[in-house]
Chains A and B, each alone.
Chain A
Amino acid sequence: MLRIEGLTKTYKTGDRALSDVSFEVPQGQVVGLIGPSGAGKSTLIRCINRLVEPTSGNVLLNDMNLPMMRTAELRRARRRIGMIFQEYALVERLTVMENVLSGRLGYVGFWRSFMRRYPAADIANAFRLLDRVGLLQHADKRADALSGGQRQRVGIARALAQDPELLLIDEPTASLDPKTSRQIMRLIVEICRERGLPAIINIHDVVLAQQFSDRIIGLQAGRVVFDGPPSGLTEGVLTQIYGEEDWTAMRNGAAEDAEAEAEDKAQAEKMLRAL
Chain B
Amino acid sequence: MSAAYPTIWRKPPQMIQARGLRIALAVGAVVYLVLAIGTIDVNWTRVIAGMERAQRFVAGFLQPDFTTRWRDISNGLMESLTMTFTSTVVGVAISIPIGVGAARNVAPRAVYLVCRSIIAISRALQEIIVAIFFVALFGFGAFAGFLTLTFATIGFIGKLLAEDIEDIDEAQAEAIRATGASWVQLINYAIQPQVMPRLIGLSLYRLDINFRESAVIGIVGAGGIGAALNTSLSRYEYSSAGAILLIIIAIVMMAEYSSGYLRKWVK
Chain A interfacial positions (CB closer than 8 Å to B): 49, 51, 75-81, 83, 85-87, 89-94, 98, 102-107, 110, 113-114, 155, 158, 162, 168
Please indicate the chain B residues that have their CB under 8 angstroms from the CB of A104 in the complex: 179
**Chain A: CB-nearest residue to B177:** A51
Q: How far, in angstroms, from A203 to B169 measured CA to CA in the complex?
A: 22
Please indicate the chain B residues that have their CB under 8 angstroms from the CB of A75 in the complex: 180-182
Q: Which of A51, A86, A94 contacts B178 (CB under 8 A)? A: A51
| CB interface residues, B 133-155, toward A, < 8 Å | none
**Chain A: CB-nearest residue to B179:** A105
Q: Which of A78, A91, A107, A155 contacts B189 (CB under 8 A)? A: A91
**Chain A: CB-nearest residue to B186:** A105
Q: How far, in angstroms, from A153 to B179 measured CA to CA in the complex?
A: 16
Please indicate the chain B residues that have their CB under 8 angstroms from the CB of A79 in the complex: 179-180
Distance in Å: Cβ of B138 to nearest Cβ of chain A = 37
Which one of B42-50, B190-198, B206-214, B224-232 contacts A? B190-198
Distance in Å: Cβ of A272 to nearest Cβ of chain B = 38
- CB pair A110–B175 under 8 Å, yes or no, is no
- CB pair B178–A102 under 8 Å, yes or no, is no
**Chain A: CB-nearest residue to B178:** A83
- CB pair A94–B182 under 8 Å, yes or no, is no
Chain B interfacial positions (CB closer than 8 Å to A): 169, 171-172, 174-182, 184-185, 188-190, 193-194, 196-197
Distance in Å: Cβ of A132 to nearest Cβ of chain B = 18
- CB pair A85–B171 under 8 Å, yes or no, is yes
Distance in Å: Cβ of A107 to nearest Cβ of chain B = 8
Given A102-B179, A158-B179, is A110 in contact with B189 using a C-beta cutoff of 8 Å? no
Given A51-B178, A83-B175, A87-B171, is A102 in contact with B189 using a C-beta cutoff of 8 Å? yes
Given A51-B178, A78-B180, is A105 in contact with B189 using a C-beta cutoff of 8 Å? yes
Q: How far, in angstroms, from A92 to B189 measured CA to CA in the complex?
A: 11
- CB pair A93–B180 under 8 Å, yes or no, is no
Q: What secondary structure prevails in chain B residues at the interface with A?
A: helix
Please indicate the chain B residues that have their CB under 8 angstroms from the CB of A114 in the complex: 184-185, 188
- CB pair A105–B172 under 8 Å, yes or no, is no
Distance in Å: Cβ of B264 to nearest Cβ of chain A = 16
**Chain B: CB-nearest residue to A98:** B189
Please indicate the chain B residues that have their CB under 8 angstroms from the CB of A81 in the complex: 178
Q: Which of B179, B184, B188 contacts A162 (CB under 8 A)? A: B179
- CB pair B178–A91 under 8 Å, yes or no, is no
Distance in Å: Cβ of A86 to nearest Cβ of chain B = 8
Q: How far, in angstroms, from A102 to B189 measured CA to CA in the complex?
A: 8
Given contacts A51-B177, A162-B180, 19 further A-B contacts (CB under 8 A): A49-B178, A75-B180, A75-B182, A77-B180, A78-B179, A83-B175, A89-B171, A89-B174, A91-B172, A92-B172, A92-B194, A93-B194, A94-B189, A102-B181, A105-B185, A106-B180, A113-B188, A114-B184, A158-B179
Please indicate the chain A residues that have their CB under 8 angstroms from the CB of B179 in the complex: 78-79, 83, 102-106, 158, 162
- CB pair A113–B175 under 8 Å, yes or no, is no
Q: How far, in angstroms, from A27 to B194 measured CA to CA in the complex?
A: 37
Please indicate the chain B residues that have their CB under 8 angstroms from the CB of A113 in the complex: 181, 185, 188-189
Given A87-B171, A89-B171, A90-B172, is A78 in contact with B178 using a C-beta cutoff of 8 Å? yes
Please indicate the chain A residues that have their CB under 8 angstroms from the CB of B182 in the complex: 75, 105, 110
CB-defined A-B contacts under 8 Å, sample of 5: A81-B178, A86-B171, A94-B189, A98-B189, A110-B182
Q: How far, in angstroms, from A164 to B194 measured CA to CA in the complex?
A: 27
Given A76-B180, A81-B178, is A91 in contact with B188 using a C-beta cutoff of 8 Å? no
Q: How far, in angstroms, from A86 to B175 measured CA to CA in the complex?
A: 11
Distance in Å: Cβ of A162 to nearest Cβ of chain B = 6
Distance in Å: Cβ of B133 to nearest Cβ of chain A = 38
- CB pair B174–A91 under 8 Å, yes or no, is no
Distance in Å: Cβ of B30 to nearest Cβ of chain A = 47
Across the A-B interface, give the 9 residue pairs with the lowest CB-CB distance, nearest first.
A106-B180, A79-B180, A89-B175, A105-B181, A78-B180, A93-B193, A89-B171, A83-B178, A75-B180
